[in-house]
Chain A
Amino acid sequence: MEVKTFPAVDMEIRKWGAKPESLIQVLHGTQESLGYLPEEVLTYISEKLNVPLSKIYGVVTFYNFFKLKKDAGHVIMVCMGTACYVKGSENILDVICNHLGIKPNEITKDGRFAVRIVRCLGCCGLAPAIMVDGKDVYGKVTKEKVLEILTKYS
């Protein structure tokens, strides 16, 4: 049987060392280059770091950050931190979900958009806030503004 190699994973393991305690950092790096954590890659990491696959599955599912499935084209994160919540972020979430025809934490059928609830973006001064694709933050969002933002990505 041909042994599959994953250069991106190897690079991370070289950086952090082939030891069990490197697991979370290696998973971070791997997800950054692959977008998610496919099963075969986890098996590979399991062998390289000498951590049972069951333990790795335990870690991956424990932390919100890690994903076992490929993500949508654009991920819209609606902040539900306290400051955003008291300033009406639930309404913003409703508007986005209605517009895309999905529920929170779902992906649209065409796989282009996902809506997720996040705890706090740390932008409380700009509440309510949303973040798109993990980098573009929009503050003081209103029901009208949010639809305008969405059109930028469609």
Chain B
Amino acid sequence: MRNRVHQTFSREIMIRVAGWGLGVFLAGCESDLPPAAQNLPWEVVLTGTNFCWEITDPGRDGKLGTVDDLHLAPPLRLPANIPTRVLLRSRDYLYTFELTALQIKQIAIPDLTYFVEFNSGKPGESEFRGDQFCNNAHNALSGTVIIQSWRDYRRWQAIAETEQQTQR
């Protein structure tokens, strides 16, 4: 058991180092500019599933629906100071998603896609809330929004991508 734990720990360190290195490399590339330069909103997807949110981050290519999409649990991470669009979907129930600081609220419904748009603003943390229309508390539907500088965000993406690939 000790061995397995040690191996896991070592592998995690290697992944993080590799991810950090990749992040530094990407952050240093001139072509890795925020999509704001293209006047397009940065898109992520939140999908309600069994009283939880599943987050789909577009990955390094910045495009949803491609192989490098990241599938994650909250918190929701977003790059700072760019137009942002959070697409809301559901696999089962009817949910609401609310960015309390921005007083934005939207629904998530199976087979349909709704969204909220906003400027992500400065780096920092805020909260989002979720509800399931039934008065029962579903704490997993609420969580934290972490706004990061573009460079930090890209580093995090790189680490997350490496972790995801490893898990596969």
A, B assembled together: no
